[in-house]
C-alpha cells in the first residue's frame, strides 16, 4: 500500500494508493478522476489511522513545511511507525536543510 500525504487536488490513482489531505477536497470528482482514487480526509497532526508496519511506500509533496517543528517530528514518528520493512519514503518538500533533517529522523 502507498500513502500519499498532502495529496490535495492532485491525487494519484490506483487501488493500492491512499491519498490523504486535511482538506475534504470536494474537487475530487469521480467524473473527473477514475473511481480507483482512494481519498482519506485526515489531519496529519493526529496519529495516522493505519496499523504498524502496514505501508510499503510513503510520499510527501509540499506538505511537511506547513507544520511546526513539533508537528513535523510527530508526523515523522508516525510515518516510521506505519512503515513496513523496506518501505520507500519520498519527501519533496521545503528547503534542503529541512530535507536533511527529515533524512536524519529516518535513520
Summarize pLDDT for 26-56 with one digit per residue, the tens.
556 656 666 678 888 899 999 999 999 999 9
- Give the contacts of 10 (CB within 8 A, at least 6 positions apart): 61
| Residue 82 pLDDT | 97
- The model's confidence at residue 24, banded by pLDDT at 50, 70 and 90, is confident
| Residue 10 pLDDT | 82
**Quick one: 12 exposed, middle or buried, by C-beta within 10 A (0-12, 13-18, 19+)?**
middle
Dihedral sign from CA coordinates of 27, 33, 36, 37: negative
This prediction's pTM: 0.80
Beta carbons within 10 angstroms of residue 92's beta carbon: 11
Query: Most confidently modeled of 28-42, 62-76, 87-101?
Result: 62-76
Residue 58 pLDDT greater than 90, yes or no? yes
| Residue 28 pLDDT | 60
- Give the contacts of 37 (CB within 8 A, at least 6 positions apart): 11, 13, 19, 28, 30
| Residue 90 pLDDT | 84
Amino acid at each position: 500500500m502507498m500513502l500519499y500525504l498532502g495529496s490535495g487536488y492532485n491525487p494519484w490513482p490506483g487501488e493500492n494508493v491512499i491519498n490523504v489531505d486535511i482538506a475534504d477536497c470536494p474537487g475530487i470528482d469521480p467524473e473527473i478522476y477514475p473511481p480507483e482514487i482512494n481519498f482519506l480526509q485526515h489531519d496529519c497532526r493526529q496519529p495516522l489511522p493505519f496499523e504498524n508496519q502496514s505501508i510499503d511506500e510513503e510520499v510527501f509533496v509540499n506538505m511537511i513545511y506547513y507544520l511546526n517543528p513539533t508537528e513535523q517530528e510527530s508526523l515523522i514518528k508516525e510515518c516510521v511507525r506505519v512503515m513496513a520493512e523496506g518501505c520507500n519514503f519520498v519527501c519533496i518538500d521545503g528547503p534542503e536543510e529541512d530535507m536533511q533533517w527529515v533524512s536524519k529522523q529516518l535513520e
